[in-house]
Structure 1
Amino acid sequence: MLSQRRQFQIACILVVLSGAASLSHQLLWTNRMTDLLGASAASVARVFGCFFLGLSVGAGVMGWKISRVKHPWRWLACAEFAVALMCLPILWLSHWTDWIWPWLGLDGLLGWQGASIKWMLSMGVVFFPAMAMGTTLPIIIKGVSLASALRSQFSVWLYALNTLGGLLGLGITGCLTLYVFGISGAMMLAIGINICVGMIALWVDRKSKIIDNHVRRDLVPDGGVLATLGQIGWKASSTAFASGFLILALEILAMDLVMLIAPLSFHAPLAVLGAVIFTLALSASCIPLLGTKWRRSSQWIMLLLAAAGILAAAGPYWFVQSAMNTEGGLLVDSLFSFTRSLVFTVLLSFGPCILLGGFIFPSLLGMIPDKCEKSNAVGFLLAFNGLGGLLGAEFTYGLLMPMLGVYLGVGVVAVIYVLMAFLWVQWNSKRKPVFANLAVFGALLITAVSFFWLRQLPVVNPNMGLKILELDSGREGNLAVVEHENFGRGLLFSNQYLLGSTNVGYDQERQAHIPLMLHGEPKHVCFVGLATGITPSAALQHSMVEKIDVVELSSMVTRAAGTHFADFNAHIIQDPRAHVYVEDGRTFIASQRDQYDVIVSDLFLPWRPGVGRLYSAEHFQSTRNALRSGGLYCHWLPLYQFTKEQLDLVLRTFQSVYPKVYLFEGKLQLDAPVLGLVGFKSGDLKWEELQDACRRERLAGDIKDPTVRWLQGLAMLFRGTIHSDVQYENINTLNNMKLELQSGLDRMIDPEGSKYLTGISWLSLAQNYLQKNAQRGYPNIIQDYPLKGMKISVLSERIKQGGETKNSSLREIFTQMPEAMFKDQYSDWKRWAGAEISVRWKPKTD
C-alpha cells in the first residue's frame, strides 16, 4: 500500500511527464496539421483554437464528473492511453488524407466545402486528444490525498510542475528529437511517454486504496455543477478566465514584437514560448512559498493585476531599448546562445509582467475554499482559464493587431489588467479603502498615458532610413510598404525580409519569362507567390498565355500588391486573364490535376516557418500531378540564402520527382544570384522549339528583355543539366523538415551569410556545373553561349567595381553577344540580365 506522501511524489513525476508529452504533441500537431491544412495564419489559428478548446472542455468535464470517480489513477491511465491512441491518426495523417484536396478540387478547396473539411479535420484530429489531455491534472489532484495541512498547497505545486513539464517537452522536442527522429519519430516518443504515464498510473492504482467518495461527502455539494461553481465563486471564475485571456494575448504580442528582430525561423517562436512557460512555472512555484495571509488575500490579487498592467505598458519600451542596443539583431554562434539571447530579451521586456500575471491563476488555486472539493474546483478553473486563453488569442489576432498594431495592442492588455484590479477592489473590499482606489486609479492613469508614447515606438527599424508608405499588421505578422533610394519601393516583412522591390523589377520579370519561353506554348500558367506582383505580371507579355493563376498566402501582401504596386505589375490583380487566390501554395497545388502548362515558384525564404514545405518532395510531386502532359515546373532558389549543402539537398529532392533537371540562372550577375530548377512532366527541353518561341515573341513585340528575346540570350543563362535515375534517400520531406531546420540554424549561427552562394562561391560552383556539361557537349544550336554567359557574369562584377577595367570589361561583354541580339533595336537594354550597359539607339516601339 502506497502512503499518501509517496503517492504525491509519484504524482509530481507523472504530472511533469504528462505536461512534457502535451506540449510536445501540441508542437508536433501544429506542424503536421499545417502540412495538411496549409501554412496560412487561419490554419494555424484553427489548430491552436481546437487544442485550447479541447483542454478547456476536458478540464470542465472533470470539474463536473470528478467527484464520482473512485479510481482516479485508473482514470488517469485511461486518459493517457486515450491520448496515445488518438494520436495515431495524426502520426499517419499524410497516408490517409492525401486524396482529400485532389478529390475536392480547387472550387471545393476555396469554397465552403474546404473550410468545413478543415474544421472537421482539426476538431477530429486535435480536439479529442487535447480534451483527454485536459482531464489529467484534475484526475491527478483527485488521486492525491495528503494531510490537511498541505491541502491548500499541493494543487498549486502540481500545476507548477505540469507547466514545467511543458517547458521540458517543448525544449527537448524542438531542439533534439525533431532533428534526430523527424516529426513521426518525435511523435512516437511523445506517445511512448503517454503510455509510460498510463502504465505507472495503473501500478499506483493497484498499490493504493479506493477513494470512498462518501467519506468526504461534505465536499460535494448537492446542487451539482452550479453549486460547485457557487463554492468557487464567480469572482474567481471570471478572474481565471481573464488571466488566461490576458496571458495569451500578451504572449502573442510579445512573439510578434520579438519576430521583428529574430530570424524568421522555426526556433524563434519556440524560444519566446519557452520564455513565457518558464516564467509561468516560476510564478506558480512561488505561490506555495508565500504565507497563507498573502495567498488568500483579495488585496494580493488586486496588487498583482495593477502591477502587471503597469509593467505590460512598459514592456514595449524596454523591448525597443534592448533592440537598439543590439542594433536590431541577435549575434550568436550556436542554437543554445540564440535561445539564451532571445529568452533574455523576452524576459527583460515582458518577463516582469508575465511573472506577476502568472501569479494570478495559481493564487486562485490556492484560494479554493476548504469546503470545496479540490479536484472539482481545479477542473472548473482550468476550464475557464483555457477558454480565456483561446478567446484572448482570437481577440489579439482578429482585432487588436489589425486595428491597433502591436504596441497599442500591448497598451490595451495593460489597461484591461488595471480594470480587472479596479473590479477586484469593488468586489472584495467591504470598506473600499481609499489607498486601494488611489493605487488602482494611479495604475489606470499610467497605462492610459502610456498610449501616447506607445504610438511613437517604431515597428520598422529607424536606422534603415526607410520611408514608410503603409504599415499593416495581422495574423501573418507585420508588413510595411517602404521606399528607399537603393531599391525603390518594396514590401518589408517583419522588419527584416524584403519580399520584392521595384528597382529589380526586370530581374523579377525574367523569372517568369524564362520558364514560359522554355515551354514554348504556355496557355494556362500558375505562379506560387505574388509579392509585389511583378513576376506574374510578366506573363501578360506572352502572346500564347490565356489564363494566369496566382496563389498568395497572405491577404496583406495581396492588398499591398494591388494598392501600391499596380503601376509596376501591369495591374495584374484587375486583369481579366489573371486570378489571384489567397491560399497556401502547397494546398492549392495539391488540389489541382493536369491543369497547367507551366508552374513557377517564387523565391522563398528557406528558414521561414512553414516555407520548407514548398521545398519538400511531397510538394514537388504535387506540382508534377498538377501539370499537363509536356508541362514544366520551375522552382527559383535564392542562392544568396542557401549554402552548398542546402542546395544539394534541394537538388536531390527535386530529382526524386523530376529526374532530369535543367539549371537556369536568373541574371548574369554574381552579387545575389538566383537559380531556377526546371523539370518537365514528360519530354525534354527542345532547343529548336525554344528558338521558334523566341522568334514568335519577337514578332509579337511585347517582350523587350533582350536576354529572353533570343535563344542565345537564354543559352547564356543556362548552367547545365543534372540527370540521375538514382533514388536518393537523403531528401527533404514533410516529415524530416531538413531544410527548414538546418537553414534556420545556419541563419542564426551565421547571420552575415558567409557560407551562402554568392560571388566567388557561386562562380566556382556554376563553373563546375558547366564543365561537367561541356564534357558531354552542348547542343550545336546553343554552341558555347553558356560559357559566355558565365564570363559576362564575371565581367559584370568588374564593371560594378569600377576602376580602370570598367571600359574594357564593357567592350568585352559586347564581344560575347551574337550580332543579331546586339543589333536588335526593339530590345530595351535597361532590362538586360547583365550589368548596365548603354547602346546608341532607343528601343523601337512599333
Structure 2
Amino acid sequence: MLSQRRQFQIACILVVLSGAASLSHQLLWTNRMTDLLGASAASVARVFGCFFLGLSVGAGVMGWKISRVKHPWRWLACAEFAVALMCLPILWLSHWTDWIWPWLGLDGLLGWQGASIKWMLSMGVVFFPAMAMGTTLPIIIKGVSLASALRSQFSVWLYALNTLGGLLGLGITGCLTLYVFGISGAMMLAIGINICVGMIALWVDRKSKIIDNHVRRDLVPDGGVLATLGQIGWKASITAFASGFLILALEILAMDLVMLIAPLSFHAPLAVLGAVIFTLALSASCIPLLGTKWRRSSQWIMLLLAAAGILAAAGPYWFVQSAMNTEGGLLVDSLFSFTRSLVFVVLLSFGPCILLGGFIFPSLLGMIPDKCEKSNAVGFLLAFNGLGGLLGAEFTYGLLMPMLGVYLGVGVVAVIYVLMAFLWVQWNSKRKPVFANLAVFGALLITAVSFFWLRQLPVVNPNMGLKILELDSGREGNLAVVEHENFGRGLLFSNQYLLGSTNVGYDQERQAHIPLMLHGEPKHVCFVGLATGITPSAALQHSMVEKIDVVELSSMVTRAAGTHFADFNAHIIQDPRAHVYVEDGRTFIASQRDQYDVIVSDLFLPWRPGVGRLYSAEHFQSTRNALRSGGLYCHWLPLYQFTKEQLDLVLRTFQSVYPKVYLFEGKLQLDAPVLGLVGFKSGDLKWEELQDACRRERLAGNIKDPTVRWLQGLAMLFRGTIHSDVQYENINTLNNMKLELQSGLDRMIDPEGSKYLTGISWLSLAQNYLQKNAQRGYPNIIQDYPLKGMKISVLSERIKQGGETKNSSLREIFTQMPEAMFKDQYSDWKRWAGAEISVRWKPKTD
C-alpha cells in the first residue's frame, strides 16, 4: 500500500510527464493538421480552437463526474491510453486523407463543403484526444490523498508542475525530437509518454486503496453541478475565465510584436511560447509559498489584476526600447543564443505582466473552500480558464488586431485587466474602502492614458527610412505598403521580409514569361503566390493565355495588390481572364486534376513557418497531378536565401517527381539570383517549338522584354539539365520538415548570409552546371548562348561596380548577342535581364 506522501510524489512525476506529452502533441498536431488543412491563419486558429475547446470540455466533464470516481488512478490510465489511441489517426493522417481534396475539387474546397470538412476533421482528430488530456489533472488531484494541512496547496503544486511539464515537452520536441525523428517519430515518442503514464497509473491503482466516496460526503453537494459551482463562487468562475482570456490574448499580441524583429521561422514562435509557459509555471510555483492570508485574500486578486493592467500597458514601450530601436534585430550565432535573446526580449517587455497575471488562476485554485471537493472545483475552474483562453485568442485574432492593431490591442487587454480589478473591489469589499477605489481608478486612468502614446509606437522599424502608405494587421501578422528610393513601392511583411517591389517589376514579370514561353501554347495557367501581382500580370501579355488562376494565402496581400499596385500589375484582379483565390497554395493545387498547362510557384521564404510545405515532395506530386498532358511546372528559388546544401535538397526532392529538370535563371545578374526548376509532366523541352513561340509573340507585339522575345535570349538564361532516374531517399517531405527546420537554423547562425548562393558562390555553381551540360553538348539551335549568358552576368557585375571597365563591358555585352536581337526596334531595353544598358553603345551596322 502506497503512503499518501508517496502517492503525491508519484503524482508530481505523472503531471510533469502528462504536461510534456500534451504540449508536444499540440505542437505536432498543429504542424500535421496544417499539412492537410493548409497554412492559412484560419486553419491554424481552427486547430488551436479545437485543442483548447477539448481541454476545456474534458476538465468540465471531470468537474461534473469526478466525485463518483472510486478508482482515479485507473481512470487516469484510461485517459492516457485514450490519448495515445486517438493520436493514431493524426500519426497516419496523410495516408488516409490524401484523397479528400482531389475528390472534393476546387469548387468543393472553396465552398461550404470544404469549410465543413475542415471543421469536421479538426473536431474529429484534435478535439477528442484534447478532451481526454483535459481530464488528467482533475483525476490526478482526485487520486492524491493528503493531510488536511496541505489540502489548500497540493492542487496548486500539481498545476505548476503540469505547466512546467508542458514547457519541457515543448522544448524537447521543438529543439530535439523533430530534428532527429521527424514529425511521426516525435509523435510516437509523445504517444510513448502517454502509455508510460498510463502504465504507472495502473501500478499505483493496484498499490492504493479504493476511494470511498461516502467518507467525505460533505464535500459533494446534493445539488450537483450548480451546487459545486455555488461553493466555488461565481466570482472565481468569472475570474478564471477572464484570466485565460487575457493571458491568451496577451500571448498572441506579444508573439505578433516579437515576430516584427525575429526571423520568420519555426523557432521564433516556439521561443515566445516557451517564455510565456515558463513565466506561468513560475507564477504557479510561487503561490504555495505565500501565506494563507495573502493566498485567500480578495485584495490580493484585486492588486494582481490592477498591477497586471499597468504592466501590460507598459509592455509595448519596453519592447520598442529594447528591440525596435536596434539595427540588427535578433539575428545571432546559434540556436541557443537566439532563443536566449528572444526569451529575454519577451520577459523584459511582457514578463512582469504575465508573471502577475499568471498568479491569478493558481490563486483561485488556492482559494477553493475546504468544504468543496478539490478535484471537482479544479475541473470546473480549468474548464472556465480553457474556454476563456479559446475566446481570448479568437477575440484577439478576429477583432483586436484587424481593428486596432497590435499596440492598441495590448492597451485593450490592459484596460480589461483593470476593469476586472474594479469589479473585484465592488464584489469583495463590503465597505468599499476609499483607498481601494482610488487605487483601481488610478490604474484605470494610467491604462487609458497609455492609449495616446501606444498609437505613436512604430510597427515598421523607424531605422529603415520607409514611407508607410498603409498598415494592415490580421491573423497572418502585419503587412505594410511602403516606399523607398532603393526599391520603389513594396509589400513589407512583419517588418522584415519584402514580398515584392516595383523597381524589380521587370524581373518579376520574367518569372512568368519564361515558363509560359517554354510551354509554347499555354491556355490555362496557375500562379501560386500573388504578392504585388506583377508576376501573374505578365501572363496577360501572352496571346495564347485564356485563363489565369492565382492562389494567395493572405487576404491582406490580395487587398494591397488590388489597391496599391493596380497600376503596376495591369489591374489583374479586375481582369476577366484572371481569378484570384484566397487559399493555401498546397491545398489549392491538391484539389486540381489535369487542369493547367503551366503552374508557376513564386519565390517563397524557405524558413517561414508552413512555407516549407511548398518545397515538399508531396506538393511537387500534387503539381504534377494538376497538370495537363505536356504541361510544365516551374518553381522559382530565391538563391540569395539558399545554401548549396539546401539547393541540393530541393533539387533531389524535385527530381523525385520530375526526373528531368531544366534550370533557368531569372536574370543575368549575380547579386540576387533566382533559379527556376522546370519539369514537364510528359515529354521534353523542344527548342524548335520554343523558337516558334518566340516568333509568334514578337508578331503579337505585347511582350517587350528582349530576353524572352528571342530564343537566344531565353537560351542565355538556360543553366543546364539535370536528369536522373535514381529515387533519392534524402528529400524534403511533410513528415521531416528538413528544409524549413534547417533553413531556419542557418538563418539564425549565419545572419550575414555568408553561405547563401550569391555573387561568386552562385557563379561557380552555375558554371559547374553549364560545364557538365557542355560535355554532353547543347542543342545546335541554341549554340553556346548559355555560356554567353553566364558571361553577360559577369559583365553586368562589372558595369554595376563602375570604373574604367564599365564602357568596355557595355560594348562586350552586345558582342554576346545575336544581331537580330539587338536590332529589334520593338524591344524595350529597360526590361532587359542584364544590367541597365544604354542604346548609345549599340554597334553601328552597315
TM exceeds 0.5?
yes
Question: Contact 2:244–2:386 at 8 Å: present in 1 too?
Answer: yes
Q: CA deviation at 1:260?
A: 0.2
Displacement of 1:498 in angstroms is: 0.2
Is the CA contact (8 Å cut-off) linking 1:825 and 1:842 kept in structure 2?
Answer: no
**1:287–1:362: 8 Å Cα contact kept in structure 2?**
yes
Question: Does the 8 A contact of 2:513 with 2:708 survive in 1?
Answer: yes
Distance in 1 separating the partners of 2:408 and 2:329: 23
* Residue deviations 1:205-258 (CA, integer Å, cap 9, x gap): 000000000000000000000000000000000000000000000000000000
Residue 839 of structure 1 and its aligned partner are, at CA, apart by 1.5
Q: Is the 8 A contact 2:667 2:673 kept in 1?
A: yes
Note the C-alpha offset of 1:382.
0.1
Instruction: Give per-residue Cα distances to partners, 1:694-747, cap 9 Å, x unaligned.
Output: 000000000000000000000000000000000000000000000000000000
Paired residue secondary structure (2:152): coil
CA distance in 1, matches of 2:396, 2:233: 28
For each residue in 1:92-138, what CA deviation from the matched residue of structure 2 results, as whole angstroms up to 9, or x when unmatched? Answer: 00000000000000000000000000000000000000000000000
Q: Tell me what 1:735 maps to.
A: 735
Corresponding residue SS for 2:841: coil
Q: Secondary structure at the match of 2:670?
A: coil
CA contact (8 A) 2:411 2:454 kept: yes
- Retained in 2: the 8 A contact 1:826–1:844? no
Mapped to 2, the partners of 1:224 and 1:659 lie a distance apart of 67
Greater than 4 Å deviation, 4+ residue runs:
840-846
Identity of paired residues, percent? 100
CA drift of 1:844 comes to 19
Q: 1:703 to 1:845 in 2, by over 3 A?
A: farther
Taking a change above 3 Å as real, the CA distance of residues 331 and 601 of structure 1, as seen in their structure-2 partners, is closer
**Aligned-pair distance for 1:295?**
0.2
State the distance in 1 between where 2:760 and 2:259 align: 32
CA distance in 1: counterparts of 2:355 and 2:845, whole angstroms: 68
Equivalent-residue separation in structure 1 for 2:819 and 2:837 (angstroms): 16
The 1:524–1:331 alpha-carbon spacing in structure 2 relative to 1, beyond 3 Å, is closer
Distance 2:14 2:72 in 1: 13
**Which residue pairs with 2:250 in the alignment?**
250
SS of structure 1 residue aligned to 2:568 = coil
Distance 1:409 1:530 in 2: 29
Separation in 2, partners of 1:594, 1:43? 26
| CA 843–487 in structure 1, closer or farther in 2 if over 3 Å, else same | farther
Deviations 1:540-581 (A, max 9, x none): 000000000000000000000000000000000000000000
Q: How far 1:332 moved relative to its partner?
A: 1.5
Preserved contact between residue 811 and residue 842 of structure 2 (Cα < 8 Å): no
Residue 97 of structure 2 corresponds to which residue in structure 1? 97
How far, CA to CA, are the matches of 2:528 and 2:630 in structure 1? Answer: 19
The structural deviation recorded for 1:314 is: 0.2
Task: Tell me the CA shift for residue 842 of structure 1.
Answer: 13
SS of the counterpart of 2:204?
A: helix
Which whole-Å CA distance do the structure 2 matches of 1:418 and 1:757 have between them? 53
SS of residue in 1 equivalent to 2:456: coil
1:58-115: CA deviation from partner (whole Å, max 9, x where unpaired): 0000000000000000000000000000000000000000000000000000000000
Residue-by-residue CA offset, 1:290-331 (whole Å, 9 max, x unaligned)? 000000000000000000000000000000001145425014
- In the TM superposition, what whole-angstrom CA distance separates every residue of 1:523-555 from its partner, at most 9, and x where no partner exists? 000000000000000000000000000000000
TM-score normalised over the length of structure 2: 0.99
Is the 2:263–2:331 Cα contact (8 Å) retained in structure 1?
no
1:234 equivalent in alignment to 2:234:
yes
**Cα distance change, pair 333–224 in 1 and its aligned pair in 2 (3 A):** same
Cα deviations by residue, 1:334-356 (Å, 9 ceiling, x for unpaired): 11111010001000000000000
1:622-646 CA-partner distances (Å, limit 9, x unpaired)? 0000000000000000000000000
- RMSD (CA atoms): 1.6
Check conservation: 2:156, 2:285, Cα contact below 8 A.
yes
Report if aligned partners of 1:60, 1:383 keep a CA contact under 8 Å in 2.
Answer: yes
Pairwise CA distance, 1:843: 17
Residues 814 and 842 of structure 2 are in contact (CA less than 8 Å); yes or no, is this contact kept in structure 1? no
Mind listing any 5+ residue stretches in structure 1 that lack a counterpart?
none
Whole-Å Cα distance in 1 between the matches of residues 459 and 345 of structure 2? 16
* CA distance, structure 1, for counterparts of residue 144 and residue 844 of structure 2: 87
Whether the 8 Å CA contact 1:792–1:816 is kept in 2: the answer is: yes
1:665-714 deviation digits (Å, cap 9, x = unpaired) = 00000000000000000000000000000000000000000000000000
Following TM superposition, by how much is the alpha carbon of 1:750 offset from its aligned partner in structure 2, in angstroms? 1.0
Counterpart contact for 1:827–1:843, Cα < 8 Å = no
The number of residues matched between the two structures is: 846
Q: Aligned in 2, Cα 1:581/1:176: closer, same or farther, shift over 3 Å?
A: same
Tell me, yes or no, if the aligned pair for 1:827 and 1:844 is still in contact at 8 Å. no
Quote the offset at 1:49 in angstroms: 0.1
Q: Render the CA deviation track for 1:118-161: whole Å, top value 9, x for unaligned.
A: 00000000000000000000000000000000000000000000
1:677 alignment partner, SS class: strand
Distance, in Å, in 2 between the alignment partners of 1:534 and 1:282 is 50
Q: Which residue of the partner structure matches residue 361 of structure 2?
A: 361
Are the equivalent residues in 1 in contact too, given 2:261–2:324 (CA < 8 A)? no
* Distance across 2 between alignment mates of 1:331 and 1:489: 26
Q: Report if the CA contact (8 A) 1:825-1:843 is conserved.
A: no
Shift of the 844–8 alpha-carbon distance from structure 1 to 2, 3 Å rule, reads farther
Q: Are residues 843 and 802 of structure 1, via their aligned partners in 2, closer, same or farther at CA, if it must alter by over 3 Å?
A: closer
SS of the residue corresponding to residue 492 of structure 2 reads: strand
TM, length-normalised to structure 1: 0.99
3-state SS in 2 of match to 1:151: helix
Q: Distance in 2 between matches of 1:845 and 1:425?
A: 92
Retained in 1: the 8 A contact 2:22–2:133?
Answer: yes
Of 240-249 and 836-845, more deviation after overlay is shown by 836-845
Aligned partner of residue 840 in structure 2, secondary structure: coil
Q: Is the 8 A contact 1:826 1:843 kept in 2?
A: no
Quote the offset at 1:9 in angstroms: 0.1
* Contact 1:328–1:461 under 8 Å retained in 2: no
Distance 1:21 1:117, change over 3 A: same
Cα drift, residue 440 of structure 1: 0.3
What is the SS of the residue equivalent to 1:473?
strand
How far apart are residue 838 of structure 1 and its match?
1.6
Alignment of 1:787-826 (within 5 A): 787-826=787-826
Q: Secondary structure at the match of 1:491?
A: strand
Q: Distance in 1 between matches of 2:514 and 2:113?
A: 37
Q: CA deviation at 1:752?
A: 1.3
CA deviations on 1:163-202 (whole Å, 9 max, x unpaired) are: 0000000000000000000000000000000000000000
Which secondary structure does the structure 2 equivalent of 1:483 belong to?
strand
Q: In structure 1, how many angstroms separate the alpha carbons of the residues matched to 2:641 and 2:112?
A: 38
Contact 1:826-1:845 at 8 Å conserved across structures:
no
1:645-664 matches, cutoff 5 A: 645-664=645-664
Q: Is the 8 A contact 2:334 2:748 kept in 1?
A: yes
Partners of 1:506 and 1:493 in 2: how far apart? 21
Query: Residue 634 of structure 2: SS of its match in structure 1?
Result: strand
Shift of residue 751, structure 1, vs aligned partner: 1.4
3-state SS of 1:481 partner: strand
Q: Distance in 1 between matches of 2:39 and 2:505?
A: 27
Paired residue for 2:63?
63
State the secondary structure of the residue aligned to 1:544: coil
Structure 2 unaligned regions, length at least 5: none
The residue that corresponds to 2:409 in the other structure is 409
Corresponding position of 1:45: 45
